[in-house]
């Protein structure tokens, strides 16, 4: 089936993504990336695939007011949600495609991307664009989810939906968010994009916590493009799918507060 819906964050997805997904899995990695950016003391930072602004808000708190931050995303509804959330200090928000960035050569000291490169249709081209807008010596800092088996809620939800739709299981989570974790593949794409120095990798593990199994069920089934796959298979079946995922999470982690493992690779690539 077509995977064009993997990049569509529209309708109620931005709101649910922000309310359920960001605190569940994105905030700890946002703080991690912001700290790495701040340690480099950049004067101009570009964020691509900013989503609803988790990293943007973290950087706005950590970076001095003299550091300019430009935050972009392909999906205007996500940027609109990020703008509505606000930041601790002014940020320039732009709708922009990482495949064709509307910025001049050698403009930024750092480019940041939180869990976005997996969605790029041509990663080597996107990396080449990133390298183009970086100043010599500038850093590209990004993260990608590790294997779905190392991310417990995503794995449980994916398996639960395969039970519900055995003939055509929705595999968005395994295919896209958790489908780009191989180090050699990432290094090859960076090299093809012009990054000649070997990038640094660090695997970072956190715990994902929620007050009940319902929270991650809504996050995954309704606050991500997985929703598009569910509705394509079962129009009107979103609540049924969410309920099924909730029961699966409760069986694995219990009916009360839940706590699951999440794991990602953090990569730093330098422009020569």
Q: Token pair of 153, please?
A: 């809620």
pLDDT by residue (tens digit) across 186-195? 999 999 999 9
Return the exposure string of 134-165: e unless at least 16 CB atoms fall within 10 Å of the residue's CB, then b. bbeebbbbbbbbbebebbbbbbbbbebbeebb
How many other CB atoms are there within 10 angstroms of residue 79's CB atom? Answer: 23
Structural domains of the chain, count? 1
Higher pLDDT pick, 158 / 13: 158
pLDDT of residue 14: 83
What 8-state DSSP symbol labels residue 53?
Answer: S
Nearest to 111 by CA among 53, 153, 154, 70: 70
Helix axes 226-233, 152-164, angle to 10 degrees: 10
pLDDT tens readout for residues 208-244: 999 999 999 999 999 999 999 999 999 999 999 999 9
Which residues make Cβ contacts (< 8 Å) with residue 141, sequence separation at least 6?
A: 33, 36, 37, 110, 111, 112, 113, 266, 267, 268
Provide the pLDDT for residue 2.
Answer: 38
Whether the pLDDT of residue 6 is over 80: the answer is: no
Cα–Cα distance, 181 to 4 (Å, whole number): 21
CA distances in angstroms from 127 to 46, 65, 196, 235, 260, listed in the order given: 13, 28, 12, 37, 32
Whole-number pLDDT of residue 191? 98
CATH number, domain with residue 66: 3.40.50.150
Mean pLDDT of 159-180: 97
pTM: 0.94
Domain that holds residue 232: 4-270
H-helix or E-strand spanning residue 128: helix 123-133
| DSSP SS3 for 194 | coil
The CA distance from 115 to 117, in Å, is 6
> Does residue 240 contact residue 160 with C-beta atoms inside 8 Å?
no
Distance CA 132, CA 106 (A): 6
The pLDDT of residue 5: 56
**Per-residue confidence (pLDDT) for residue 89, from 0 to 100:** 95
CA 141 to chain centre: 13
pLDDT of residue 11: 65
Predicted local distance difference test score (pLDDT) of residue 13: 81
């Amino acid at each position: 089936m077509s995977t064009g819906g993997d990049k569509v964050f529209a309708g109620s997805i931005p709101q649910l993504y922000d309310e359920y997904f960001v605190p569940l899995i994105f905030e700890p990695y946002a703080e991690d990336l912001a700290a790495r950016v701040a340690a480099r003391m950049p004067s101009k930072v570009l964020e691509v695939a900013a989503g609803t602004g988790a990293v943007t808000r973290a950087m706005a708190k950590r970076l001095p007011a003299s550091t300019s931050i430009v935050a972009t995303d392909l999906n205007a509804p996500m940027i609109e949600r990020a703008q509505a959330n606000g930041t601790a200090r002014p940020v320039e928000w732009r709708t922009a495609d990482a495949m064709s960035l509307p910025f001049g050569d050698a403009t930024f000291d750092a480019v940041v991307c939180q869990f976005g490169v997996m969605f790029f249709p041509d990663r080597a081209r996107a990396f080449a664009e990133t390298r183009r807008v970086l100043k010599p010596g500038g850093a590209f800092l990004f993260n990608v989810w590790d294997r779905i088996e190392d991310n417990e809620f995503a794995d449980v939800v994916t398996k639960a939906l395969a039970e519900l739709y055995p003939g055509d299981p929705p595999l968005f989570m395994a295919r896209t968010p958790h489908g780009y974790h191989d180090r050699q593949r990432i290094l090859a794409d960076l090299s093809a994009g012009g990054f000649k120095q070997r990038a640094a990798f660090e695997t970072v593990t956190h715990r994902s916590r929620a007050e009940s199994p319902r929270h991650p069920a809504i996050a995954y089934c309704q606050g991500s493009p997985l929703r598009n796959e569910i509705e394509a298979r079962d129009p009107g079946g979103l609540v049924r799918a969410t309920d099924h995922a909730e029961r699966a999470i409760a069986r694995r982690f219990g009916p009360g507060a839940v706590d699951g493992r999440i794991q990602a690779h953090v990569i730093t690539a330098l422009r020569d």
